[in-house]
A and B are shown apart, each in its own frame.
Chain A
Amino acid sequence: MQKVRGLVIKRAGELLSDGTVTRVLGYKCGDFFYDVTPAFFESADQLSDLEYGSFCGANLSKYLINACKDQKEGKILVLLKPCDTYSFNQLLTEHRIDRDKIYVIGVGCKGMLDIEKLKAMGFKGITKVLDNGDELDIKTIYGDKKCKRADALLEKCVCCKGKDFKAFDEVIDVEEPGEKGADRFEGVALLENMTSEERFAFWNNELSKCIRCNACRNVCPACSCMKCVFDNPVSGAAGKVNSNSFEEKMFHIIRAFHVAGRCTDCGECSRVCPQGIPLHLLNRKFIKDIDELYGDYQAGEEVGSRAPLVNFTFDDAEPSIVHERGNE
């Protein structure tokens, strides 16, 4: 990915210099290899800080909402990975961003890494992670370690949507076209096959960790409301905290419902959750249900497509199907 980084910096520099764009929305390197921060770069000389490596999992498309609204002149160059382009299209569909103000460089990706997974493997004090093909060299304050790259992929990359860009002005990619990832519904199916009591225990355990920091909501490109119902004192659902198990569930059910049919499964919610709650399992449940009941639908595949929850057919399944299928 070092090669892609070089090409991106070069091309972004050119586009800034010739005035095609006035800002570049990319990633800025941090103190360690894993702590890159999304950032705007406004001149070619700032680009030396631009990072594009194995920890650039963040989906930058949501930043475009605010960037399109500010009064700054010129176009915004944004770096989008193949999976990020779905969110980008979904935002266009919902009129949240202005295509004319944006220049999209699609950047190739071979799967991004999850620092939390590395830590869970027991690596302590990680200061540097070197990408060495299928293997990772991990430098820590307690010595050098190794692990398989595939074992450290972000959940969203394990279930990669494929390497096709659904929106771009140009593409920078040196990676070989890759395969699609694992079946993303495996985790959902596993839960579906449990008994009702087991599922209840599973979610109680997971959701009770929620600290209601709203990171999942604030990072979500589909959660782009001007004011969230959970922040609105007159909505009847406002709350700042999970005071009990009901609130934990209410927040996550409603959030998943509000993005159902609009969620591109970008996986950001799970990536950012400080408590490691597998929130993607909620979104994927809706996606799986929608696919099974109303036909395959991938949000963000196509600009302007009609989301399944603002659509219907005369012979849709009846709600009783829920009561009739699967385990009790």
Chain B
Amino acid sequence: MQFTRRNLLKTTAAASVAIAAPHLWLPSEAHAATLKKGEPIKVGLLFSLTGALAVPEEDSTLVLQYAFDEINKNGGVNGVPVEPVIVDAKSDFNVYSEKTKELILREKVIALFGCYTSASRKAILPTVMQRDHLLYYPTCYEGAECTQNTICTGPLANQHSQDLIPFMVEKFGKKVFFVGSNYVWPKESNKNAKVWLEKAGGELLGEEYIPLGSSEFGPVLGKIRDAKPDFIFSTVVGASDIAFHKQFKQEGFKVDSMPIASLTTGEIETRAMGADFGAGHFLSAPYFQTLDNPTNQKFVEGFLKSKYGKNGTTHYNMEETYLSAYVFKAGLEKAAAAVGVENVTPRSIRDNSGGIRIEDAVSPEGLIWIDENNFNTWLKPKIGQCQADGTFKIVKAADKQVAPDPYSIYPDAGTCTKDGLKGPDGKVRKNVI
């Protein structure tokens, strides 16, 4: 026993000596990923390949690999090939966080592409910001964030419903019911939708949120039946969305008299629910597989024929992800030109990404560009109606690109600038999440 105590004391002593050693108190070295001559450009692909989030995120990984293959085939970035480092985040936010660190600190990638949900983005952002790194977030989100370390190529909440709500009000009537999954993005999207609804003279009859992953829509549909809206505005996501559309029809609702206008129900979902459950409903997105332009035809054909195209479809989330690769390419090239290849850091890529345009010839959804202040994307939201075969017919397209505004419904919070959130008091705060 005595012997043991002595041992313990020794260990503790060793520990305290180590703590007292001054160099150990220093924060560890700031991250400095740079490009090295003759080595490929490493980027991290942080998506879930297993677990509940794998449904959309596996496609994201595939389309990015396709994009980088395409870029490499055409000479790479600045003549250097891109090498994606693929990890599996296992649909587990703890793993997202761990893998982010691994990609940044160990793999020393120059940029990260990743996440599909806000929750996972929030899980990794502290790490990304702390290492002053760069995340391409390639899907729609709610906004109300102003960091100096993200570039988003999907629509913000303010872009998403700007056309959709007036369109639906005009076509089907003023009364609407909001249904969403119970988390941040649907709630924020609905706040935006309310703004447009008010402008369009519509009337909100009810607002319901159901738990993420739940497949029981009985109570919600009961409330909708009582409220008798002209259309439903849905921000239900994932498996729940499919259950929602199925039960909508099973409960005897008719798509002609009360369609669902959704921000999420794309080609993947309509195929999984069976086209007869999806047909007739509406979706607002910047991209549909059926978009009729040569770039899109090339993208769809090329992708489906490639070894990555096994899922047999392209949808808005994949296209937004595809674009992020080209935004990265342009940003890196601009940064290299500005500071020299040796000195390119994630931060310098980001700082040089403002105003980058992806032209019609590259972008399947048509010209987009990155906002110079908040680093979200100017894009044209389009409205599609699901057809009997599960594809979408574009019924309305914005005539010009809509500006992304992360703080559109929080004018008091200030405006997002390149260096941070500029409050009404004129103070600029960095990394507001």
- Genuine A/B complex: no
Identify the A interface with B (CB < 8 A): none
Identify the B interface with A (CB < 8 A): none
